[in-house]
Amino acid sequence: MKKFVILGGGYGGLTIAKDLIEGFVPNDVEIVLVDRSPFQGLKTEYYALAAGTVSDHELRINFPKSDKLTRKFGEVRSIDLDNKHIHFENEGEPMSYDQLVIGLGCTDRFHNTPGAEEYSSTIQSFSSTRKTYLRLNEIQPYGTVHIVGGGLSGVEMAAELRESREDLNIKIMDRGERVLSAFPQRLSKYVHEWFKEHDVDAHSHVSISRVEPNAIYNREEKIYTDAVVWTAGIQPVKVVQDLQVAKDPQGRVVLNEYYQIPQYTDVYVVGDCASLPFSPSGQAAEVQGEQVAHIVRDLWKGHTPHPHPLKLRGTLGALGKKAGFGYGFMGNASLMGRVPRLLKSGVLWKSRRHFG
């Protein structure tokens, strides 16, 4: 049997696994799905797990069961592209592959800020999000939380934490002029107004220079804090950082038209690890995953693949459970209020159905 190994059962890897097993797999091919967890974590909702407004169990989706699929649980340590071997933590024997998909997602980028990695809480993995939940929910009444980074996940984190705990002092710190700088100004204004109304302090032009156990520094100014949540940058996971292949300025792997590594055409890269013409997102990982599944199937059948350009719908964000915002729908209109929040819940429902 030939081994088609998928590393990472997230939005990208799992889309490929499902599309292949529900479609066509040659009789001499075994698909192996590798993940450290025995379920998919719905990462787009990790801010709610950290805030304590949803339970761990609500964000888990069991991996598919099929006689065409073998599941392997373990922590990938490194990939040897020349010898086609995957090395695991605490396992002597590597796993070999014939074809490989790398879909291991991303981790935090701390921009070399002293103390940030050691003393911040984060929401980029299921495990770190659980720890963040404990940290935030054990803070004494009227304690203070600083959220560093005013992008989508920082904004969602701040709003959800307010919904979870009305006593906390919540401060969101961004180095730019406004939160959601990648979105139209109108949306930032709406979010700033929501923050004002819900007593979340938004600080702009902040430059975090150091984090200590109970302090955060804006340049030279030392500010007392009970917890820092870091949402100020991402990069592909360490296993991908260690690969000696061409990368883009964000550290994502540069690919050919079939999403393969050009000098290792048996290796596909999907999702946050792949250099795509958009910012990393679950939506991009899924759309790309569908294309990769088509390409792999065509090649198995001896056909020439004709990949379509990737097309994304808009982006939606939540401000607690009742309000939200969206951009990129219906001629790039900005959506604000209850409707985009309902649309976001609909997307989550669809995700649960698609993967579950």
Ligand X SMILES: Cc1cc2nc3c(=O)[nH]c(=O)nc-3n(C[C@H](O)[C@H](O)[C@H](O)COP(=O)(O)OP(=O)(O)OC[C@H]3O[C@@H](n4cnc5c(N)ncnc54)[C@H](O)[C@@H]3O)c2cc1C
Q: What is the binding site for ligand X (CB under 6 A)? A: 8-13, 35-37, 40-41, 43-44, 46-47, 75-76, 103-105, 123-124, 152-153, 156, 237, 239, 271-272, 280-283, 285, 316
User: Measured between alpha carbons, how far is 16 from 179 in angstroms, rounded to an integer?
Assistant: 34
Handedness of CA 50, 53, 56, 58 (dihedral sign): negative
Within 10 angstroms of residue 251's Cβ, the number of other Cβ atoms is 16
79, 80, 82, 85: CA torsion to nearest 10: -90
Nearest to 97 by CA among 109, 107, 105, 87: 87
Q: Which of 134/142 has CB closer to ligand X?
A: 134
Which pair of structure tokens corresponds to residue 310? Answer: 């990737």
Non-local (6+) Cβ contacts of 296 within 8 A are 4, 16, 20, 99, 268
Q: Which is nearer to ligand X, 104 or 116 (CB)?
A: 104
- Sorted by sequence, the CB contacts under 8 Å of residue 113 that are 6+ apart come out as 208, 209, 210, 211
Sign of CA dihedral 225, 132, 44, 255: positive
Which is closer to ligand X, CB of 19 or CB of 156? 156
Report the DSSP pairing between strands 121-122 and 227-230.
parallel
In the complex, minimum distance from the CB of residue 198 to ligand X, in angstroms, rounded to a whole number:
19
- The residue (of 134 and 214) whose beta carbon lies closer to ligand X is 134
User: Shortest distance, CB of residue 9 to ligand X, whole angstroms?
Assistant: 5
Cβ closer to ligand X: 127 or 256?
127
CB 346 → ligand X: shortest distance, Å? 12
Residue with Cβ nearer ligand X (60 or 210): 60
Going 163 to 282 to 204 to 326, the CA torsion angle's sign is negative
Closest CB 221 distance from ligand X, rounded Å = 28
CA distances from 243 to 252, 282, 307, 338 (A): 10, 23, 26, 44
CA atoms 266, 78, 109, 168: torsion sign? positive
Smallest gap from residue 152 Cβ to ligand X (A): 6
> Which residue minimizes CB distance to ligand X?
10
- Least distance from ligand X to the Cβ atom of residue 153, Å: 4
Q: How far is the CB of 70 from ligand X (least distance, A)?
A: 15
Token look-up 């759309």 returns 287
For ligand X, give the closer residue by CB, 12 or 115: 12
